[in-house]
């Protein structure tokens, strides 16, 4: 479904990604783990068109999407839940969700998906007229996910959904990720919470200073000594 | 249906205000001093509302608005004085040329953010002023004499048109996209909103109406000089928008009306005028840091009143 071939990404003169390649197949949850500054968010931003790779390419559903503007990529069915949630704070919950469906024209489909998002996140329904800046961190994360789902993506990119959340909320968020995946949306998940990420994912990649250093099934990685030492607390 | 009803109701209120003032003017109840103040109010409201769409709605901090006003003023003056075309044609041309100037400036500068954008727009406004200053065709520093053609009707309907267009734009899908950019540009991008396009469009619309305001202004005072359109004028407009509440259209209108009234009355005390004016600004910012209306609209307050009435 998604194929990343040997991409190099720069911020000015500084190279953030060195020849990164990875693959995501339809129906999977793939996770990308790594420390701060490894390039995880950079990779997601490149996939969704917010950054352009200097070399290499990104293929999505058989089309080259690298270098295309973000709106083309969203239209093609890939949506991005940005790091730190980034909800539109002075708009209501419902207005935020409407903006998620910004590129869609099918009114009936949008209404149906709105109901579905409220089913997945009953908290958002309770607070639909509330300004989203007044929600708790966990609720904002739910809103950011709901907003991305409103674009009806085939592939959803999630950047650190557990960031800054209480353990119970982290668990709830991961349950929802599994549910979204079970409904047929492919998920590419970037996480620092390697333990949680590996427990829901099918496959995983480990990114270190801009390079993929390990890849395999989530189970294999969970048991590998390097990952245990570096990311799971060296048990 | 409900929305269009409210729209017609506000339009009706606007026309009633217009008719009352028009009647009072023609029967001599409002003298030339006050009618001049009312026309200035209309011009300042147009400037405030046209900057509101750029700063308040789209969140692009532009502080060179007087530059577009200058373009409108001089283009319209050339149309009426040099080419001897009717005033209405001059107004339209002023809007269009200012719009083009807005696009010309907006396309390269809107890649910048925050204070960088502010400095770039300020610089462009100064460039416009200096260019006008050095063109002898329009009188250079001495300025250009212009016939008086502006009447209360021209000023009021130009203002009404500005408010209608900008408030409808804000409520549309496009307006929502602009608000998303103001709230969070990266998230807006990730939602598939073409952020560059909407920023340029907002800039163009703002410049268009600032140009029209410039045309109305030019034909109100017999003479226009480049010095009038310096950065102090830009700041005046910025103050209306910030004082009214960033993001509130009715706030911009209210602030423009109030501050025009304050500065007209203070004209009688030229020595202390700027001191009192500054004190008013400081007091408002101390007690209403989000502006007079915050992000709310006057109509929201009325809605609350209605709901309360029903519950009782």
pLDDT at residue B302 in the model: 66
ipTM of the complex: 0.87
Mind listing the pLDDT tens digit for each residue in A132-175? 999 999 999 999 999 999 999 999 999 999 988 999 999 999 99
Please state, in angstroms and rounded to a whole number, the distance separating the CA atoms of residues A100 and A114: 10
Whether B183 and A95 lie within 8 Å, measured CB to CB? no
Across the range B292-301, mean pLDDT stands at 80
In this complex, is the C-beta atom of B179 within 8 Å of any C-beta atom belonging to chain A?
A: yes
Phi-psi region of A77 (alpha: psi -120 to 50; beta: other; left: phi over 0): left
In this complex, is the C-beta atom of B181 within 8 Å of any C-beta atom belonging to chain A?
A: no
**β-pair type (A14-24, A29-33):** unpaired
In chain B, what are the domains? 41-311 (1.10.3470)
- To the nearest 10 degrees (0 to 180), the angle between helices B87-109 and B114-133 is 140
- Give this prediction's pTM: 0.89
A69, A86, A90 ranked by CB distance to B186: nearest: A86
Whether B176 and A103 lie within 8 Å, measured CB to CB? no
What percent of chain B lies above the pLDDT cut of 90?
A: 69
Query: Which element (helix H / strand E) includes A82?
Result: none
pLDDT at residue B3 in the model: 62
Kindly tell me the burial class for residue B54, based on how many C-beta atoms sit within 10 Å of its own C-beta (0-12, 13-18, 19 or more). Answer: buried
B287 Cβ neighbours under 8 A, 6+ residues apart: none
Mind listing the pLDDT tens digit for each residue in B92-143? 999 999 999 999 999 999 888 888 999 999 999 999 999 999 999 999 889 9
Is residue A72 within 8 A of residue A65, CB to CB? The reply is: yes
Q: Could you tell me the CATH superfamily of domain A2-85+153-231?
A: P-loop containing nucleotide triphosphate hydrolases (3.40.50.300)
State the residue for tokens 């709605």: B57
A131 Cβ neighbours under 8 A, 6+ residues apart: A89, A90, A91, A92
- Top residue of A42, A45, A70 to mutate, by most chain B CBs within 10 Å, is A70
The two structure tokens encoding residue A13: 């003169």
Cα distance from A195 to chain B (closest Cα, Å)? 28
Q: Quick check: B309 pLDDT over 50?
A: no
B183, B186, B192 ranked by CB distance to A71: nearest: B192
The values of phi and psi at residue B305, to 5°, are: -55, -45
**β-pair type (A155-159, A186-191):** parallel
Please state, in angstroms and rounded to a whole number, the distance separating the CA atoms of residues A76 and A142: 23
């Amino acid at each position: 479904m998604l194929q990343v071939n040997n991409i190099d990404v720069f911020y000015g003169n500084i190279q953030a990604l060195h020849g990164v390649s990875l693959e995501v197949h339809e129906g999977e949850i793939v996770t990308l783990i790594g420390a701060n500054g490894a390039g995880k968010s950079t990779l997601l931003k490149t996939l969704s068109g917010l950054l352009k790779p200097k070399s290499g390419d990104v293929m999505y559903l058989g089309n080259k999407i690298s270098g295309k503007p973000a709106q083309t990529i969203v239209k093609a069915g890939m949506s991005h839940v940005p790091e730190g949630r980034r909800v539109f704070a002075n708009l209501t919950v419902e207005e935020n969700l409407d903006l998620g469906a910004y590129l869609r024209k099918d009114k009936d489909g949008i209404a149906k998906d709105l109901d579905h998002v409220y089913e997945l996140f009953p908290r958002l329904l309770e607070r639909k007229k509330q300004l989203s800046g007044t929600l708790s961190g966990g609720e904002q994360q739910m809103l950011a996910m709901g907003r991305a789902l409103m674009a009806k993506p085939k592939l959803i990119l999630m950047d650190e959904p557990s960031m800054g959340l209480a353990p119970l909320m982290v668990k709830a968020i991961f349950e929802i990720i599994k549910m979204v995946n079970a409904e047929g949306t492919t998920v590419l998940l970037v996480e620092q919470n390697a333990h949680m990420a590996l427990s829901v994912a099918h496959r995983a990649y480990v990114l270190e200073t801009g390079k993929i250093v390990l890849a395999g099934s989530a189970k294999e990685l969970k048991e590998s000594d390097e990952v245990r030492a570096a990311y799971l607390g060296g048990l | 249906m409900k929305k269009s009803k409210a729209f017609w109701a506000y339009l009706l209120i606007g026309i009633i205000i217009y008719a009352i003032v028009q009647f009072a003017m023609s029967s001599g109840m409002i003298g030339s001093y006050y009618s001049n103040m009312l026309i200035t109010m209309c011009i300042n409201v147009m400037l405030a509302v046209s900057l509101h769409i750029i700063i308040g709605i789209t969140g692009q901090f532009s502080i060179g608005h007087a530059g577009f006003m200058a373009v409108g003023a001089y283009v319209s003056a050339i149309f009426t004085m040099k080419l001897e075309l009717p005033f209405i044609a001059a107004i339209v041309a002023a809007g269009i040329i200012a719009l083009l100037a807005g696009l010309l400036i907006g396309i390269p500068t809107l890649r910048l953010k925050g204070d960088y954008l502010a400095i770039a727009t300020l610089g462009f406004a100064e460039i416009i002023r200096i260019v006008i200053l050095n063109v002898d065709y329009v009188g250079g520093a001495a300025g250009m004499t212009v016939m008086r053609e502006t009447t209360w009707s021209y000023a009021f309907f130009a203002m009404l048109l500005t408010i209608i267009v900008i408030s409808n734009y804000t409520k549309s899908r496009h307006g929502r996209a602009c608000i998303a950019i103001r709230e969070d540009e990266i998230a807006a991008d990730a939602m598939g909103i073409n952020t560059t396009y909407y920023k340029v469009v907002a800039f163009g619309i703002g410049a268009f109406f600032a140009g029209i305001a410039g045309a109305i202004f030019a034909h109100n005072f017999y003479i226009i000089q480049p010095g009038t359109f310096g950065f102090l004028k830009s700041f005046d407009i910025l103050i209306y928008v910030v004082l009214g509440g960033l993001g509130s259209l009715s706030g911009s209108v209210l602030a423009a009306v109030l501050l025009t009234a304050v500065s007209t009355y203070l004209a009688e005390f030229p020595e202390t005028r700027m001191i009192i004016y500054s004190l008013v600004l400081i007091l408002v910012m101390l007690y209403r840091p989000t502006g007079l209306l915050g992000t709310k609209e006057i109509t929201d307050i009325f809605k609350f009143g209605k709901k309360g009435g029903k519950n009782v």
